[in-house]
Structure 1
Amino acid sequence: MIKFLGLFVLSVFLVESAKGKTHYHKFVVKSSSYTRLCASKDILTVNGKFPGPTLKAHRGDKIVIKVYNQANTNITLHWHGARQPRNPWSDGPEYITQCPIIPGKMYIYKIDLNREEGTIWWHAHSGWARATVHGAIIVYPNKLGSGYPFPKPFSEIPIILGEWWKKDVMEIPSNANKTGGEPILSDAYTINGQPGFLYPCSKKGTFRMNVLQGKTYLLRIINAVMDENLFFGIARHKMVVVGKDGLYIKPIDTNYIMITPGQSMDVLLQADQPPSLYSMAAAAYSSALGAGFDKTMTTALIDYSINATYSSPKTPYLPNLPPHNRTEASTAFTKQFRSLATKDHPAKVPLDVDTFLFFTISVNLLNCSSDEKCTGPFGKRFAASVNNISFVTPPVDILQAYYHKIPNVFKMEFPRKPPVEFNYTGDNLPENLLTPSFGTRVLVLEYNASVELILQGTNVLASDNHPVHLHGYSFYVVGWGFGNFNPKEDPSMYNLVDPPEETTVGVPKNGWVAIRFKADNPGIWLLHCHIERHTTWGMNMVFLVKDGDGPTSGILPPPHDLPKC
């Protein structure tokens, strides 16, 4: 195993154009040392920062990022929530749309922000590097547009929820693979890189947000945690959620949010409490029976002292977050999401569907060889699957194999429905359902197809709340429910007027969601669970969206500097 540490050095300049600005950045990867939880260690970072630098642009702008890899490990970057129209070459998932940038090499990413508005983010898409390689992308309204669909806040603050391990993060998946068991748990959650005052040696480094009484602040919250959904709240303050995944929603008044790995949310906070010291905090929502998870709580401070004098409490006020396993609380929050569905922000829901897909998502088990001692349930090895196929990463990226017609890299035979029908959410399911098949298969979609996809959670080993992310697209969540999807009854309850538009959706524990999208972005696009252990185990699949007939409806040509495998 190669040990490495890294740093992306960032420089930026702008070029103005008629359609917006082009933002040019330079990232250089080197090593960096950080101290957390009373100990120092080297980690992969961006520009010497954990989290990495925040990128800012307006809707209609472009971002060009030249990445020099001077670390001792491979790296790729993904622009999570950016649709990358016709340009899967810059999407970033390793061995899906590109080969990795090897040490000593460079690659240029190009991001076209044609629809996104609000908060999205960027992160590594190579091994477990995203644990420390991530940062926010803020997309402001188009300068010629109408501005925010809510009163302009006094100030804005990125709030990135992350994790910290005392051990080398990049060795976690290989060590887990040796035993077949779960990867080790993090030693702390973090807010903007700091664990908070509830952990040892962290009080001085606790992130502090200074506020003026009576002002409104926009919190741009991102869950960059590897393996856990999180509850988040602010003591004695209500929040108003106004955006999700770089798209606006109807305002939601709430005391807490539930945010899955991969999701971002725009939240308004009014500093309307008596001057004091208050905590924001996050802790796990873990719904899978028997699954291990970090049971600690990360905190940051809301401080009114910049315009008021007060006696600081011995312990800052803490929010009342739901219990770790409270699915009812998660559901009560997420069921409120609705699109704005206004003239400026319409909900363009596909009403006439011509392509129906049904995917089961499962955690599985594999038998161990006679000379192995596996630590998974029943002495077996963990796996995961979509439609009972556990994804196998190819040696050459699928996009180049498709574009250049390289044979024997993937097969175009991913099933449109489960190979076996059963009671997906039933108890005591038969043991023969535990073992998946394996393969590198893609599902072909015709250009401009109107797609309805049912994502069905299963109880094959243990059900969980799975955050499913689709690259290259946003989609409308037109329905959801618990138990098995009923094709005769459930569609009558769909919301086709103002369903939320998202890029990462939480499939509820022992439940399902129905999403719709128009397949108008040609290319190779990954769909996967954003719980990293599930992705590592194979809970991924790939869409191949064909080119259209016109000159502007096909994949752009590959760039000259595309990495080679």
Structure 2
Amino acid sequence: MEFKLNIPNTLAIGFFLFAFLTFQITEAKVHRHTLKIKSKAYTRLCNTKEILTVNRELPGPTLRAYRGDKLIVNVINNANYNITLHWHGARQIRNPWSDGPEYVTQCPIRPGQSYVYRIDLTIEEGAIWWHAHSQWARATVHGAFIVYPKRGSSYPFPTPHREFPLILGEWWKKKNIMDIPGSANKTGGEPAISDAYTINGQPGYLYPCSKPDTFTVTVVPGRRYLLRIINAVMDEELFFAIANHTLTVVAKDGLYLKQFNTTYLMITPGQSMDVLLHANQRSDRYFLAARAYSSAFGAGFDKTTTTAILQYEGVPLTDELNRNPPVLPPYNHTEATTRFTSQFRSLRPVNIPVKIDTRLLYAISVNLMNCSDDKPCTGPYGKRFSSSVNNISFVNPSIDILRAYYRRIGGIFQEDFPRNPPTEFDYTGENLPFPTRFGTKVVVLDFNSSVELVLQGTNVLASDNHPIHLHGYSFFVVGSGFGNFDRQKDPLRYNLVDPPEETTVGVPRNGWTAVRFIANNPGVWLLHCHIERHATWGMNTVFIVKDGPTKSSRMLKPPPDLPSC
């Protein structure tokens, strides 16, 4: 399958309606189609501004495929910024060349150039997504990626009447999104906070200028629907709910879970969830709503609420809505977050590594650094914000790490990333010093080695819930808790029976999360926080997984059109 995704020159638009694009897929082979690039004028209320779009849509087009399919995506960059795309949740087996993070697995696609990404779907099934992985472009360059069960197979639940992708995003009224990280870097302070969250490109009914175009989900009484919910927000986890309705969570990150019912979701940036909705309430019009979960004390965040409408068929389209909004937990309700995520369990039998070859403890932290000149920065105490993993703030190299590794180019990265914090201390105590330094360092893993990675949150500056995403892999979340990880006691409480398999996991505020995986996908793979300000400040690191002994366990060769730096 071939999609031609065009990232045009910045387009003057306001808020968008969401467009559903369906691509007919007939067999589990590569099909070559061209999605023609057309200009389309958008006229919306609110402010008009220039943003990056894909095929002049916000969100971008929904990609649809079946488990086991192969996709070819031709990305043409007609923008004025460098671009890369990442296929979030796709394993990219043996093919890090198509994974996307700039200066990790590729140099960016320059303005006027193109690059062909190849995605071979394997175990993915459900909602995953695609997004830019360069600068702050993913704020508007993103879209849903739906993977259906293999042909001849079915869902592990009754087939829904219809599905609706719901992409949660952000909007800045006056800021050029691509200028935000550079402006923050100059001052050393926090990036500009968004003015609104959005559902499928619209802030919703509570914003007068968006009210006429609020996204609407129309349902038939008594039928069931599958909501494909994706958090594309740059900087905040979100609570989500539908007034008067119970939701049934069936999958996360393109992997099935044991079903459970809930009145709300907590979904972090980077995560996707498949949720069943039974239209079993009185025929009316109800609010869908989302707002922030922000656990970092003192940190600024967007306090607005975005909405969409659940419209029962036959109810007149009037301005009157059921005025009872959905009950959402308070902004800082960590207990509600924990109660929700603790229900995740794998649906199908899992093969969890029991004998561990490599044990890693990564302390993740928001830090402060001295300013580089005599002028004070706008961060706390006149310093500048930074972030780190094991005291290292990641720095992008001059060429991508993958190319340097494959071609044995020296001086681009170092293989001495610390496998434990350089200094052991009370990570979740008060008023902690946690100095950081810049570096481009990696950990090298032997092929097929079993890995346990403990992600330890810290209270160095402002403890937060960190959504950590590992490229190239899924992992089993075997344990989680608050406080400092105890190597003797906490493993005794691991779930080694049915832990959830995920690709993006939230490390709780002032707590820890333990994950396990087999390093059987050779290549260069990024691990990072999906809160964009944290990633921008340096909360990233890299695994290099060596080739295996056979041809089928070795990394593929680089493609001929690989962008140069």
Q: 1:245 to 1:389 in 2, by over 3 A?
A: same
Instruction: State the shift of 1:208 in Å.
Output: 0.7
For residues 238-267 of structure 1, give each alpha carbon's deviation from its aligned partner in whole angstroms, at most 9, with x where no partner exists. 000000000000011000000000000000
1:106 corresponding residue in structure 2: 114
For the residues of structure 1 that align with 2:531 and 2:33, how far apart are their CA atoms? Answer: 29
Instruction: State the shift of 1:313 in Å.
Output: 3.3
1:405 corresponding residue in structure 2: 408
1:140 corresponding residue in structure 2: 148
Is contact 1:10-1:47 (8 Å) kept?
Answer: no
2:4 corresponding residue in structure 1: none
For residues 455-481 of structure 1, give each alpha carbon's deviation from its aligned partner in whole angstroms, at most 9, with x where no partner exists. 000001111000000000000000000
1:364 corresponding residue in structure 2: 367
One-letter amino acid matched to 1:536: T
2:171 corresponding residue in structure 1: 164
Alignment of 1:486-501 (within 5 A): 486-501=486-501
2:523 corresponding residue in structure 1: 523
2:468 corresponding residue in structure 1: 468
Is contact 2:371-2:384 (8 Å) kept?
Answer: yes
Q: Alignment partner for residue 58 of structure 2, among 50, 65, 71?
A: 50
**Structure 2 residue 512 is matched with structure 1 residue 504:** no
Q: What's the secondary structure of 2:534's corresponding residue?
A: helix
1:322 corresponding residue in structure 2: 329
Instruction: State the shift of 1:547 in Å.
Output: 0.2
Is contact 2:447-2:522 (8 Å) kept?
Answer: yes
Q: Alignment partner for residue 347 of structure 1, among 320, 344, 350?
A: 350
2:15 corresponding residue in structure 1: none
For the residues of structure 1 that align with 2:519 and 2:11, how far apart are their CA atoms? Answer: 37
For the residues of structure 2 that align with 1:536 and 1:402, how far apart are their CA atoms? Answer: 23
Instruction: State the shift of 1:33 in Å.
Output: 7.2
Alignment of 1:79-478 (within 5 A): 79-145=87-153, 147-166=154-173, 167-304=175-312, 306-308=313-315, 313=320, 316-341=323-348, 346-429=349-432, 431=433, 433=434, 435-478=435-478
For residues 327-352 of structure 1, give each alpha carbon's deviation from its aligned partner in whole angstroms, at most 9, with x where no partner exists. 000000001100013xxxx3111111
Q: 1:112 to 1:30 in 2, by over 3 A?
A: same
Instruction: State the shift of 1:28 in Å.
Output: 8.2
TM-score with structure 1 setting the length? 0.94
> Which range moves more in the overlay, 22-31 or 148-157?
22-31
For residues 153-187 of structure 1, give each alpha carbon's deviation from its aligned partner in whole angstroms, at most 9, with x where no partner exists. 01000000001112210000000001000000011
For residues 319-371 of structure 1, give each alpha carbon's deviation from its aligned partner in whole angstroms, at most 9, with x where no partner exists. 01000000000000001100013xxxx31111111111110000000011343
* Unaligned segments of structure 1, at least 5 residues: none
TM-score with structure 2 setting the length? 0.94
Q: 1:187 to 1:302 in 2, by over 3 A?
A: same
Is contact 1:231-1:321 (8 Å) kept?
Answer: yes
Q: 1:15 to 1:559 in 2, by over 3 A?
A: farther
Is contact 1:280-1:302 (8 Å) kept?
Answer: yes
Q: What's the secondary structure of 2:206's corresponding residue?
A: coil
Is contact 2:20-2:62 (8 Å) kept?
Answer: no
Instruction: State the shift of 1:68 in Å.
Output: 1.2
Q: 1:291 to 1:121 in 2, by over 3 A?
A: same
For the residues of structure 1 that align with 2:166 and 2:442, how far apart are their CA atoms? Answer: 36
Q: What's the secondary structure of 1:514's corresponding residue?
A: strand
For the residues of structure 2 that align with 1:12 and 1:442, how far apart are their CA atoms? Answer: 40
One-letter amino acid matched to 1:383: S
Instruction: State the shift of 1:25 in Å.
Output: 5.6
Is contact 1:12-1:25 (8 Å) kept?
Answer: no
Q: What's the secondary structure of 1:21's corresponding residue?
A: coil
Paired residue total: 551
For the residues of structure 2 that align with 1:507 and 1:22, how far apart are their CA atoms? Answer: 38
Is contact 1:120-1:246 (8 Å) kept?
Answer: yes
Q: 1:12 to 1:205 in 2, by over 3 A?
A: closer
> Which range moves more in the overlay, 65-74 or 488-497?
65-74
For the residues of structure 1 that align with 2:20 and 2:115, how far apart are their CA atoms? Answer: 15
For residues 217-248 of structure 1, give each alpha carbon's deviation from its aligned partner in whole angstroms, at most 9, with x where no partner exists. 00000000000000000000000000000000
Q: What's the secondary structure of 2:10's corresponding residue?
A: coil
Q: 1:312 to 1:374 in 2, by over 3 A?
A: closer
For the residues of structure 2 that align with 1:234 and 1:25, how far apart are their CA atoms? Answer: 38
> Which range moves more in the overlay, 178-187 or 68-77?
68-77
Instruction: State the shift of 1:317 in Å.
Output: 3.2
Q: 1:125 to 1:23 in 2, by over 3 A?
A: farther
Is contact 2:23-2:63 (8 Å) kept?
Answer: no
Instruction: State the shift of 1:29 in Å.
Output: 8.4
Q: What's the secondary structure of 1:488's corresponding residue?
A: coil
Q: 1:36 to 1:535 in 2, by over 3 A?
A: farther
For residues 23-61 of structure 1, give each alpha carbon's deviation from its aligned partner in whole angstroms, at most 9, with x where no partner exists. 446578899876666210111111111001000000000
Instruction: State the shift of 1:15 in Å.
Output: 8.2
Is contact 1:13-1:25 (8 Å) kept?
Answer: no
Q: What's the secondary structure of 2:337's corresponding residue?
A: helix
One-letter amino acid matched to 1:460: V
> Which range moves more in the overlay, 216-225 or 200-209?
200-209
